[in-house]
Amino acid sequence: MRKLLFIIPVILLSCTQNKKEQKAEEAKAVQTGKDPHSFSNPEEAVVNHLDLDLKVDFAKQQITGIATWTIQHPKNADEIVFDTQDLTIDKVTLDEDSTGVFFALGDKDPVLGQALSIPITNQTQKVKIYYSTAKSAAALQWLNPQQTAGKQQPFLFTQSQAILARSWIPTQDSPGIRFTYTANVEVPNNLLALMSAENPQKKSADGKYKFVQPHPIPSYLMALAVGDIAFKAIDQRTGVYAEPGMLSKVAYEFADMGKMVNAAEKMYGDYRWGRYDVLVLPPSFPFGGMENPLLTFATPTVIAGDRSLVSLVAHELAHSWSGNLVTNATWNDFWLNEGFTVYFERRIIEALYGADEAKMQEVLGYQSLMEGIKEMGDKNPDTRLKVDFTGRNPDDNVSDIAYEKGYFFLKTIEQAVGRQKFDAFLKDYFARHAFKTIDNDTFLNELNQLLIKGDEKLKKQIDSYAWVYQPGLPKEFKAPSSSVFKNIDSLTQQFLATKNAGGLSKKITSTNEKLYFIHKLPDNVGQDAMKLVDAEFNFTASKNAEVQCAWYVLAVKNKYEKAYPAIKEFLTEVGRRKFLMPIYKELAKTAEGKKSAKEIYKNARANYHSVSYSSIDDLLK
């Protein structure tokens, strides 16, 4: 249906550019409707509801489950195809008949897993799959008590995005396929279970929990966490979950959650999911945050003690609109999830903490984007917003391009059409596409028809074509600047000229400022300068993970050995890929660095989730 509404072809070409060349490039970039990262056949048979029964066995590190799928038949189909990865399928039954039917598992693909094909008829309404997970299930991380804050109980969490849901649920694992769900989950009776659904706030006596997700969601938003977890309310509809020893720190850090939801609603329409809670996980969680509906999963590395990293909550909350409500059609449209979310995140930050704060975060994002583009190369096709990850793992597409280039494209539109018009557009966009998918062409069509409306000047000013289909940044793009940071530019220059760091820590005080300052120091600043800065700021011993990561990368670049024990500790404790990768990458650049990286990794790997160790295996092999 959505496609039918926009049959008018995309006309993005500016008169000055070679039209034929552009068309060819566009055609190459544009995918057909099929999701290249799923074996499923939704045009023929597609799921719309799941009833899940799970037993969580910590001793065996195994989930056994029954997934009962309710299905629909858009066409006459003689089979339905699911995605699986490393699942053992014991039995499949159809509708009310309990006799097992034939099923076939396809060849193993190292990225996509295996297709599970089940013959059905047009009358088939339910498909019941009995299965169990492997020890190696990519979505799951089983933590022993030592790897938790409390050290007493084991912990389990899932990470399904992008295509790992299939390693713990047989599912049509495409972001374009949505379903509602219920779940019965059985865990050891001293542990709490939580899902991306309406959640309990207390442990049950028997370890049995029931969940309901009444809104249709794609399978990358399926989530489960099990552990010694407690709840604390922030306000009526928001709250935090964490291990008991962490709970009050977490509640302090995220005290503004309720205000964030209010601010978000005021800009872009009602929060549609009921409650909004955050679960803070043990430090091995591979991401900063994951926008599981109703319950964001978050890394403890944002609990800085001074609320300086709470933009993460703004970000994951924003996904409740951009991503969870309006979802990228395939992982090649990933920037539509993340770019919109970073834009929305900074608008929440501006609403709560003011324009200066949002601007600083924007400039830090720009710094990071420029470093990212430099590393990838500004002709690299993966620096386009519309990417083609067919045949590759979409998890490898997590870079500043989708996030920050996406953000700056939207910011460019905002500046060209004016904030008022852009806000009205966005609010309608979220309403129009709620619980549906969005792809690149649909968004660009709507931009043309609803905002640009044939205005040649606007069209040129925005230059969607360059942003979306060309690598690097458009030539006309002007770097953002923050008045607060301007002062740090001159302080940095002064320091580099005089080699005197005395008093700097009285002038460079906030986390944003420190991050900006560290990034402004030249790569080859030298050990003497590192020593002076460290004596003044004590960055090596910082407890702020963002500061630590930035400083440790610079320390490796400059062979500043005083930081090495702290680096080793950081790499062993923390499993967040965004921090691990740049440090390991920098270490791997020299022979001796690579040797120590491998030594650290030998011990640390067991603490990492598969998302992180897969990336680092590749890097250090």
CB nearer ligand BES, residue 290 or residue 530? 290
- Binding footprint of ligand BES, residue count (CB under 6 A): 16
Strand partners, 208: 186
Residues in the chain: 621
Q: How far apart are CA 222 and CA 181, in angstroms?
A: 9
Q: Residue 297 CA to chain centroid, in angstroms? A: 10
Q: Does 404 bind ligand BES (CB under 6 A)?
A: no
Q: How far apart are CA 438 and CA 338, in angstroms?
A: 13
**3-state DSSP percent of the chain in helix, strand and coil, to 5:** 45, 20, 35
Q: Does 290 bind ligand BES (CB under 6 A)?
A: yes
**Shortest Cβ distance from residue 429 to ligand BES (Å)?**
19
**Shortest Cβ distance from residue 142 to ligand BES (Å)?**
19
CB nearer ligand BES, residue 398 or residue 515? 398
Instruction: Write down the catalytic residue from 241, 366, 403, 584.
Output: 403
Q: How far apart are CA 250 and CA 522, in angstroms?
A: 35
CB nearer ligand BES, residue 10 or residue 257? 257
The span of 77-85, 252-260, 282-290, 414-422 binding ligand BES (CB under 6 A) equals: 282-290
Q: Does 338 bind ligand BES (CB under 6 A)?
A: yes
The span of 73-81, 137-145, 368-376, 395-403 binding ligand BES (CB under 6 A) equals: 395-403
The span of 170-178, 337-345, 385-393, 599-607 binding Zn ion (CB under 5 A) equals: 337-345
SS3 435: coil
CB nearer ligand BES, residue 142 or residue 285? 285
The tokens of 430 are what?
A: 């979220």
Instruction: Compute, in degrees rounded to 10, the torsion defined by CA atoms 275, 280, 281, 284.
Output: 130
Question: Could you tell which of ligand BES, Zn ion, none binds residue 161, using a CB distance below 5 to 8 A set by kind?
Answer: ligand BES
Q: How far apart are CA 355 and CA 592, in angstroms?
A: 45
The span of 118-126, 295-303, 341-349, 460-468 binding Zn ion (CB under 5 A) equals: 341-349
CB nearer Zn ion, residue 83 or residue 338? 338
Backbone torsions φ then ψ of 194, nearest 5 degrees: -135, 150
Let me know: does 429 contact 327? Beta carbons within 8 Å: no
Q: Does 312 bind ligand BES (CB under 6 A)?
A: yes
Instruction: Compute, in degrees rounded to 10, the torsion defined by CA atoms 88, 93, 98, 101.
Output: -90
DSSP 282: P
Q: Does 287 bind ligand BES (CB under 6 A)?
A: yes
Window 13-52: contact mask with Zn ion (x via CB under 5 A): ----------------------------------------
Let me know: does 40 contact 173? Beta carbons within 8 Å: yes
Q: Which residues have C-beta within 8 Å of that of residue 615, sequence separation ≥ 6?
A: 395, 396, 577, 580, 581
**Shortest Cβ distance from residue 286 to Zn ion (Å)?**
13
**Shortest Cβ distance from residue 287 to Zn ion (Å)?**
8
Residue 316: active-site member: yes
**Shortest Cβ distance from residue 607 to ligand BES (Å)?**
17
Question: Could you tell which of ligand BES, Zn ion, none binds residue 290, using a CB distance below 5 to 8 A set by kind?
Answer: ligand BES
Select the residue interacting with ligand BES from 128, 166, 319, 411 (CB under 6 A).
319
Question: Could you tell which of Zn ion, ligand BES, none binds residue 84, using a CB distance below 5 to 8 A set by kind?
Answer: none
CB nearer Zn ion, residue 344 or residue 422? 344
Q: Does 357 bind ligand BES (CB under 6 A)?
A: no
Q: What separation in angstroms does the CA of 237 have from each of 232, 252, 430?
A: 11, 16, 21
Residue with tokens 């066995």: 57
Q: Does 288 bind ligand BES (CB under 6 A)?
A: yes
Q: Does 228 bind ligand BES (CB under 6 A)?
A: no
Window 569-588: contact mask with ligand BES (x via CB under 6 A): ---------x----------
Let me know: does 541 contact 575? Beta carbons within 8 Å: no
**Shortest Cβ distance from residue 290 to Zn ion (Å)?**
8
Strand partners, 88: 132
The span of 49-57, 92-100, 172-180, 313-321 binding ligand BES (CB under 6 A) equals: 313-321
- Cβ neighbours, 10 Å, residue 104: 13
**Shortest Cβ distance from residue 23 to Zn ion (Å)?**
32
Select the residue interacting with ligand BES from 26, 35, 277, 316 (CB under 6 A).
316
- Residue 233: which H helix or E strand, with range? strand 230-233
Select the residue interacting with ligand BES from 228, 243, 253, 291 (CB under 6 A).
291
The span of 336-344, 468-476, 490-498, 547-555 binding Zn ion (CB under 5 A) equals: 336-344
Backbone torsions φ then ψ of 492, nearest 5 degrees: -65, -45
Under rule CB under 6 A, which residues in 143-182 are in contact with ligand BES? Answer: 161-162
Select the residue interacting with ligand BES from 37, 166, 178, 315 (CB under 6 A).
315
Let me know: does 525 contact 492? Beta carbons within 8 Å: no
**Shortest Cβ distance from residue 179 to ligand BES (Å)?**
19
Residue 243: active-site member: no
Q: Which residues have C-beta within 8 Å of that of residue 590, sequence separation ≥ 6?
A: none
Q: How far apart are CA 162 and CA 139, in angstroms?
A: 10
Burial of residue 105 (CB within 10 Å: 0-12, 13-18, 19+) is middle
Inter-residue long-range contacts of 590-595, CB under 8 Å, 24+ positions, other chains counted? 593/556, 594/620
CB nearer ligand BES, residue 84 or residue 337? 337
Q: What separation in angstroms does the CA of 480 have from each of 108, 490, 600?
A: 47, 17, 38
Instruction: Tell me the Ramachandran region of residue 166: left when phi exceeds 0, alpha when psi lies from -120 to 50, beta otherwise.
Output: alpha
Instruction: Write down the catalytic residue from 243, 253, 316, 357.
Output: 316
**Shortest Cβ distance from residue 220 to ligand BES (Å)?**
8
Which amino acid belongs to residue 599? Answer: E
Residue closest to ligand BES, measured at CB: 288
DSSP 234: S
The span of 4-12, 288-296, 372-380, 541-549 binding ligand BES (CB under 6 A) equals: 288-296
Let me know: does 545 contact 301? Beta carbons within 8 Å: yes
Q: Residue 514 CA to chain centroid, in angstroms? A: 25
Backbone torsions φ then ψ of 254, nearest 5 degrees: -105, 30
Write out the residues near ligand BES by the rule CB under 6 A.
161-162, 287-291, 312, 315-316, 319, 338, 395, 398, 403, 578
Write out the residues near Zn ion by the rule CB under 5 A.
338, 341
What are the residue numbers of the active site? 316, 403
